[in-house]
A and B are shown apart, each in its own frame.
Chain A
Amino acid sequence: MFDTYIGLEIHIQLITDTKIFCSCRNSFGDPPNTNICPVCMGYPGVLPVLNKEAVRKSYIMCRALNCHLNEKAVFDRKNYFYPDLPKNYQITQFEYPFGINGYFENELDGELKRIRIHEAHLEEDAGKMIHEGLSSYCDYNRTGTPLLEIVTEPDFRTGEEVEAFLQNFRRTVRYLGVCDGNMEEGSMRCDANISINFPGKGLGRKVEIKNLNSSRNVKLALQYEQKRQWKMLKNNEFIIQETRLWDDEKKRTESMRSKEDANDYRYFPEPDLPPYFPDAEFLDSIEKAQVELPVARKNRFISEYTLTPDYAEFLTEERDRADFYESACTNGCDSQSAASWLKGDTAKALNVRKKSINETFLTVERFTELLKLLEEGRINNPTAKKVLEIIIDEDKSAEEVVAENGWEQLDNSEELEAFVDKVLSENGKALEQIKSGDMKPVGFLIGQVMKLSGGKADPKKVKEIITGRI
């Protein structure tokens, strides 16, 4: 066996109105070259002006990663030529990034493990180059999107661990509101470094894997690479330090460039931007912007609300969902039924609508009211589902919906018994079947009564009456 060391470089696009150094809109998916100006196009004579919101969100993230926040942060120029990089240097942070020496509590299968964060630094994103036939096109909309790069220490041992980390990490950036965490659209990107060595020998030669656009692909690529390198070591082959690309179709990594063609980036301090000194007031505001992170919240949900890990994981996946759940509980909902209604029918309904809970008319108050109606037996389960659909789409309370539609359950036994009598008299065959000991048709009969009552009967009571008659 061999030891495996995996480290990650994660880029997250920060959510800001404008780009990092100019006032162009920071938005995804617009027609090519519509969000550009002389500054992000690198026209002669223009200068960068640092976006304060990008700085704030960077610090929020650095703090959440338990980083030491440098007293002085410095921007640097990273020099390399590529047509999608207008200035042919990238403004980034090299020697003095915003945050260093942090950690992230990762969890896989209920086990917590601390992943060390080497650093987190702010930089500008490049544009995109599109090759079509013999032509190449540049789209500079993405140029200047604020990007926070987070570098972990090589603390992972398996691809599964990394996959879980990326999912937890994605939740974290969404909780903090710093990034939408969309790996398919590239707002969160991940490169992985993997090195394998004989046990106890420390880090081996590093192979970097790029082109990983989902946490699943990161896992697959690492598993593939781990196997490939194991085989090589077993056969006494030399592992080259290189960059490899993940081929999603062939499900394998392929060599892109070796260390010999590596760039010398010639870093030096960016003379157009003064060093950044966070002051006490600013740091205080960063402290105030911190929230309980998903992994911690999930574990608290398990113990505080006695939820299964499955439920807790679902509820804490998105911050607004977890907030909703907690408010509902404080508002008097039963923690179990609130959890099951949120994970079941509410989630289903939201999925169909492709909306998050905060984007609908469903409020904690209305949700609580719905569960209360159910608990008090004023409506039955199927009715509750119908009411839920309506209070998601319309600005109405559950009470209102029930009243408007006359959906309140019949608690008048006489009326119910009349329904039962009618059904029994019309279904003599079924009745005989039951009497001869075959209980199957009971459900059918209940259904008939429900139908007759327009769904307002309480199925439990109906069953009682039917079995009583027999």
Chain B
Amino acid sequence: MSWNTICGSRENADKYRAYIGEWENRIHSMLEYRVEHCEQGENRISGSLLSGMPFAAKDNIAVRDFKLTCGSRMLENLVSPYDATAVKRLKEAGCIPVAKTNMDEFGMGSSTDNSALLVTNNPWDTDRVTGGSSGGSAAAVAAGLVPFALGSDTGGSVRQPASFCGVYGLKPTYGAVSRFGLVSYASSLDVIGIMSRDISIIENVFNAVKGQDLNDQTSIEYRDSDSLSLAEKPVFSVLKNPEGLSLEVDEAYRNAAALLREKGYEVREIELPVLDYVVPAYYTIATAEASANLARYNGVRYGYRSSKGETPSELMKKTRDEGFGDEVKLRILLGTYVLRSGFQDRYYVKAQKIRTRIMNELDDVFRTSDLIMLPSFPVPAFRHGDESMSQYQQKVADKFTVTANLAGIPALSFPAGNYNSLPVGLQFFAPRYGEKMLLDAARIFENDYPVMNPQGFKTAEEIIG
């Protein structure tokens, strides 16, 4: 792994900077990159596999002295005064943050086109989106700009772009990674995730960042003994009749199931009736929480401030009107709507009941199988612009990913081959604490579905070579 040596000399750093620059001209995955942090190569931690490794973080994860824009005009000039716990732990393991990546504004979207600051292109086809909301992180990893990147996954925001860009994307168990320093979108669903082209890197990064954090009371203790391992002959569940899949994804899904059977694994066909309700439940809970979480952006203490407000309340109104994009406003309005007094039973409370139902239904499945295999998204990367896939269609398509967030369970999207020159990703669900199971299951496919290289891709050796 020459990623460990790319940092440490001026010469290497220059080559590295040049490589990033070349790609960035085409894909614009990063809102900020600062390779100079790499030059000194200090901060080496002996015995750490991650020592000296550069990484990128989605721009809703706090990295001290880097920007923290969340892809929003509202925070365009905000510089973080502190490190997120996950970032702090990575620094302690010797990793070096080099970039902040583009994203859908405040994590709201499935294309990264909802960023108010930059349009990011898919490394496989620059006319297409990277997926979202952690699209910048997925693109940067796919193009080989960093060995891994942090993203955040509230309803699929790590797994969906990972599938669009042909890399691995891990959404850990809720609470397994501290949310301290992750800008909240929907607090009960948010989790920091990891993207990489290399399963082992994901594993090492996860082990470095996981576990209880006193700054996040929803974080969980995650001892090695808590970690579930994969049975020698794990049983997989797949959907009997997956609906609404594109031809490519449908084919990839069937092929992967067939391959598992070929390898001698038991594959059970199941139905998950609750899938029909997960999207409305998800958007009710997520927007309700978002409406409160995004209330703090009012121009009073930091961030964008309208110049037009004459009174404090007008100042807040104008600031929010000018500072937020359309999708963010839509979700804030939705959340405000579902929380109105007198309407909570109809929406918010009902959504929580569905959430409990999802957990029960998945628990039932996990009683007889180790893992569930699902598509990550019904289609591969779509083209920029509303014509190819409307915002509404994108929301409906979230049903495979949001399920894991509502249940709080870990999930991993893995590359499952390219179809028509575009990567297609599938995902595994595991019970809570099942991250190791997910990674080991992905290893089953590692040789059949190797991570592919988009044109212009170079390995770390090639970059400094």
**Which residues of A does B touch, CB under 8 Å?**
38, 41-50, 77, 79, 81-83, 86-89, 129, 136, 138, 264-268, 271-274
Contact = CB atoms under 8 A, between A and B. Distances in A.
Contact of B295 (A47, A79, A138): A79
A272 B288 contact: no
A34 B297 CA distance: 22
B180 A45 contact: yes
B188 A271 contact: yes
Nearest to A81: B316
B133 to A, nearest CB: 15
Contacts of B182: 45
A364 to B, nearest CB: 43
B187 A38 contact: no
Question: Which of B295, B313, B344 has the largest count of A CB atoms less than 10 A from its CB?
Answer: B295
A136 B314 CA distance: 13
B62 interface: yes
A81 B341 contact: no
Given A79-B295, A138-B300, A266-B341, A49 B214 contact: yes
Contact of B292 (A45, A46, A268): A268
Contacts of B217: 47-50, 272-274
Interface of B, helix, strand, loop or mixed by DSSP: loop
A44 B185 CA distance: 10
B312 A136 contact: yes
Interface in B340-358: 340-341, 344, 348
Q: Which 10 A-B pairs have the closest CB atoms?
A: A88-B295, A271-B187, A266-B339, A271-B188, A44-B183, A42-B296, A45-B183, A45-B181, A45-B62, A83-B312
B340 A45 contact: no
Question: Which of A42, A81, A87, A268 has the largest count of B CB atoms less than 10 A from its CB?
Answer: A268
A264 B84 CA distance: 34
B14 to A, nearest CB: 33
A87 B296 contact: yes
B75 interface: yes
Contact of B81 (A38, A47, A138): A38
A48 B179 CA distance: 11
B340 A264 contact: yes
A249 B340 CA distance: 39
A87 B348 CA distance: 21
B336 interface: yes
7 contacts: A38-B81, A44-B62, A44-B70, A47-B180, A83-B298, A88-B298, A272-B218
Question: Which of A48, A49, A272 has the largest count of B CB atoms less than 10 A from its CB?
Answer: A272
A268 B181 contact: no
Interface residues of B, number: 45
Interface of A, helix, strand, loop or mixed by DSSP: loop
B398 interface: no
Contacts of A82: 312
A86 B313 CA distance: 14
Nearest to B214: A49
B314 to A, nearest CB: 11
A414 to B, nearest CB: 80
B291 interface: yes
Question: Which of A48, A83, A136, A138 has the largest count of B CB atoms less than 10 A from its CB?
Answer: A83
Contact of B316 (A83, A87, A129, A271): A83
B215 interface: yes
Nearest to B302: A43
A81 B183 CA distance: 20
Contacts of A44: 60, 62, 68, 70, 75, 78, 183-184, 296-297
Contacts of A88: 292, 295-296, 298
B289 interface: yes
A110 B298 CA distance: 53
Contacts of B296: 42, 44, 86-88
Given A38-B82, A43-B302, A87-B296, 18 more contacts: A41-B302, A44-B60, A44-B75, A47-B179, A47-B215, A79-B291, A81-B313, A81-B316, A82-B312, A86-B296, A87-B292, A89-B295, A136-B312, A268-B288, A268-B292, A268-B344, A271-B187, A272-B187
A44 B344 CA distance: 27
A45 B289 contact: no
Contacts of A274: 217-218
A271 B312 contact: no
B171 to A, nearest CB: 17
A100 B184 CA distance: 32
B8 to A, nearest CB: 30
A41 B340 contact: no
Nearest to B299: A83
Question: Which of A38, A82, A88 has the largest count of B CB atoms less than 10 A from its CB?
Answer: A88
Nearest to A33: B301
A95 to B, nearest CB: 11
A268 B292 CA distance: 10
A79 B292 CA distance: 7
Contacts of B321: none
Interface string B61-83: 11000001010000100101110
Contacts of A138: 300-301
A89 B336 CA distance: 13
Nearest to B303: A44
A267 B84 CA distance: 28
A79 B295 CA distance: 8
